[in-house]
Each structure stands twice: as C-alpha cells, then as structure tokens.
C-alpha cells in the first residue's frame, strides 16, 4: 500500500531517525574515541599520509555537516560554499597576505562562519525541501562568483599556497608533521561537535529535528537554534576546507561546486546519519573507494550515484547506524 506522505512542507521528523537512544555510557564512549585517536596516530606509519590527510579533512567536513543534518534535521545542499569558500580565503591569507598557518586557517574558518550567518539567515525562512533547494541555489551563486572573481584565479584556482611553519617554528613541509597537525585539528573539531551534541543546546536541536512545532510550543525560539547550528556547522566546515587547501597547497573551483556538497551528503549517509562515528567511517570509505576507482575515470560519479541509490533505498541507517543497531548501543 503506497500512501504518499502529507503534502505539507514539514521539517522532517524521520531524517536521521536513529532509534530513541539511551544515553551512551560516557566511559565506553571515551574508550571508543581514544581507540579512534590511537588508530589515527598509528595510521601514517602504515598508509600514505597525504591520502590520510585528505580523508581527515573530509571527515571533519562530514562531522560538521552531520551536526546539521543528523542532529538538527536540516539538509543543506550547499555546504561546499563553506568548505571551498574557506579554502579560498585561507589560501589567499597564506599566499598573498603572508599569514602563518594557524592564522590563515583561522581566517578561513571565520570567513566560513560569516558566510554561514548570511546563508543561514536567508535559508531558515523555509523548511524541509525548500531549505535544501535554497542552500543549493545560494552555493551555486557563490560558485559563479568564484568563477569570475580575481583573487580565486578562476579555472586555475589559487596555486602554490605555502604550508609555512606552525607557530613560526615547526616547518610543515614534512608530510608527517603536517599530518599530526591535521589530526589535532580534526580531533578538536570532533570533540567540539561531541560537546555541542551532548549539551542542552544539542538536545534542543534534536527536539527540533524530531518535532519542530512542539519545540516551538515549549517556548524555544527554534529559528535562533537552527541559525546557531547552521553557523557552527559552516564554521567547522570552513576549518576543514581551510586546512585542506593549505595541506594540498591548492584552492580550486571543485571545492565550491555542487558535486562537493553532494559528496559530503553521501559520506554522512553512507557512514550513518546522526551517529558520532558515521561521518568519519564514511569519509575513509569514500576516499578509499575513490582512490581505487581513480583509474576508471568518469565512472566515479556513476559509482557515487549508485551508492546514493543503494543507501537511500536499502541502507538508510548507514554503516555505523547498522552497527549501532546490532550492538544495541549508540555509536
């Protein structure tokens, strides 16, 4: 029996529908995080650090995106704007203004937060499906701006961004040193999101995801909460994007194009919406898959599309979501 959903434009209560979770015992959660950190510390001695850095940047980006979709139920189809936008600003800061590494990344992050404020302020006026279309359209507008603007270098992007020195002493040209700096930034972002999600603020976000009218009736100004969540998510996406452009010494149009917005959605969907570790697992899986498929050229998009279809039709909980269901505990 197929009955279509009500045709009202409702904020979706079913997005990221993880079963009502019992609060994770903090101790075992702590051990899982320590375990992940240990794995990531050992990883560069086994795998090529550059690939790992790419995965870490994408993982942070995906965690930031998950804060919005998984925990607040807001599907932004324009997150490339913040990721790529911060990449351009950080690149400009490091290359042209001569900022040191940490200041350049910080500038990129701040720029993403400001962009997030502007976009979020416009987009939260509509809900559900319209929210997705508006963010997509605004990101596309930004893409056209970047295509024409002088400082972005158009099709060439900003090339030869210097990695510089950390705090003016530690040269980042060594990949291993760079890796540990990226890892530190990733862990900072990951823990920040953990803190946000488990704070009273985070619980209000979850309430908005589950039932916005009810949250309003309880006296919460849901628009404020949504806007703050949007800005936080944009800023953390900017942290990821700014770091990425400096690590790879390149800020390019690809990172502001809608394909990147689609990719981060896929990562979160594949890893598990509204799970803590899902975006990280998703990012590593996608990076590995893309790395293996690189020689197939044009088929990468087809595989991505097929993953989307499979995830939506048969695997809505994602990898970590399924694991979490099997183990009867939130992950």
Partner 1 sequence: MTTQALFSQLLIGLINGSFYALLSLGLAVIFGLLNVVNFCHGALYMLGALVAWYLLEHLGIGYWWALLISPLVVGLFGVVIERTMLRRLYGLDPLYGLLLTFGLALIIQGVARNYFGVSGEPYDIPSQLTGGKNLGFMFLPNYRAWVVAVSVVICSLTWFVVERTRVGAYLRAGTENSILVQAFGINVPRMLTLTYGAGVALAALAGVMAAPITRVSPLMGADLIIVVFAVVVIGGMGSIFGSIVTGFALGVIEGLTKVFYPEASNTVIFLIMAIVLLVKPAGLFGRTT
Interface ranges with partner 1 (CB under 8 A): 2-9, 12-15, 75, 77, 122-123, 125-126, 128-130, 132-134, 136-138, 140-141, 144-145, 147-148, 258, 262, 265, 269, 297-302, 304-309, 311-313, 316
Two tokens at 12? Answer: 């979706």
Structure tokens at 241: 């994007």
Q: Which is nearer to partner 1, 48 or 144 (CB)?
A: 144
- Residue 101 or residue 131: which is nearer to partner 1 going by CB? 131
Contact criterion met (CB below 8 Å) for 101 and 246: yes
Residue number, 106 or 300, with CB nearest to partner 1: 300
Q: Which C-beta is closer to partner 1: that of 58 or that of 265?
A: 265
Contact 112, 241 (CB under 8 A): yes
- Residue 194 or residue 293: which is nearer to partner 1 going by CB? 293
Shortest distance, position 58 Cβ to partner 1, whole Å: 18
What minimum distance in Å lies between the beta carbon of 168 and partner 1? 40
Query: Minimum Å distance from CB 133 to partner 1?
Result: 4
Whole-angstrom distance, CA of residue 107 vs CA of residue 84: 13
**Cβ nearer to partner 1, comparing 3 with 46:** 3
Q: How near is the Cβ of 311 to partner 1 at its closest, in Å?
A: 8
3-state DSSP call for residue 261?
Answer: helix
> In this structure, what is the dihedral angle of CA atoms 207, 8, 230, 22, given to the nearest 10 degrees?
30
Rounded to the nearest whole angstrom, what is the least distance from the CB of residue 317 to partner 1 in the complex?
Answer: 13
CA atoms within 13 A on the CB side of 286: 32
3-state secondary structure 144-190: HHHHHCCCCCHHHCEECCCCCEECCCEECCCHHHHHHHHHHHHHHHH
Rg of the Cα atoms in the chain = 19
What per-residue string of b and e applies to 149-158 under the rule 16 or more CB within 10 Å gives b? eeebbeeebb
Neighbours of 12 (CB within 10 A): 18
- The nearest distance, CB 216 to partner 1, in angstroms, is 15
Q: Which is nearer to partner 1, 142 or 179 (CB)?
A: 142
Nearer to partner 1, 38 or 312 (CB): 312
Nearest to 61 by CA among 248, 284, 253, 303: 284
Q: Rounded to the nearest whole angstrom, what is the least distance from the CB of residue 108 to partner 1 in the complex?
A: 23
In whole angstroms, the minimum distance from the beta carbon of 51 to partner 1 comes to: 23
CB 174 within 8 A of CB 180: no
């Amino acid at each position: 029996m197929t009955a279509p959903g009500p045709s009202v434009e409702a904020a979706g209560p079913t997005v990221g529908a993880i079963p009502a979770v019992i609060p994770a015992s903090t101790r075992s959660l702590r051990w899982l995080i320590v375990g992940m950190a240990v794995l990531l510390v050992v990883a560069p001695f086994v795998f090529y650090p550059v690939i790992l850095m790419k995965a870490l940047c994408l993982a942070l980006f995906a965690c930031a995106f998950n804060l919005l979709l998984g925990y607040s139920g807001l599907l932004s189809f324009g997150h490339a704007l913040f990721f790529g936008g911060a990449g351009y600003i950080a690149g400009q800061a490091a290359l042209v203004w001569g900022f040191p590494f940490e200041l350049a990344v910080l500038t990129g992050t701040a720029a993403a937060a400001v962009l997030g404020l502007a976009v979020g302020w416009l987009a939260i006026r509509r809900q559900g499906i319209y929210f997705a279309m508006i963010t997509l359209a605004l990101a596309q507008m930004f893409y056209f701006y970047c295509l024409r603007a002088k400082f972005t270098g158009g099709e060439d992007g900003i090339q030869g961004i210097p990695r510089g020195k950390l705090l003016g002493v530690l040269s980042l040209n060594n990949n291993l040193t760079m890796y540990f700096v990226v890892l530190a930034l990733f862990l900072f972002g990951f823990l920040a999101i953990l803190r946000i999600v488990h704070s009273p603020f985070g619980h209000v976000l979850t309430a908005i995801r589950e039932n916005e009218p009810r949250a309003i009736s309880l006296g919460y100004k849901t628009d404020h909460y949504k806007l703050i969540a949007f800005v936080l998510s944009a800023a953390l996406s900017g942290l990821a994007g700014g770091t990425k452009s400096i690590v790879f010494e390149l800020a390019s149009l690809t990172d502001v194009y809608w394909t990147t917005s689609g990719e981060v959605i896929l990562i979160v969907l594949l890893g598990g919406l509204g799970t803590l570790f899902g975006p990280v697992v998703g990012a590593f899986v996608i990076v590995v898959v893309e790395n293996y498929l690189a020689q197939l050229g044009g088929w990468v998009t087809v595989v991505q599309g097929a993953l989307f279809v499979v995830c939506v039709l048969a695997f809505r909980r994602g990898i970590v979501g399924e694991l979490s269901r099997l183990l009867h505990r939130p992950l």
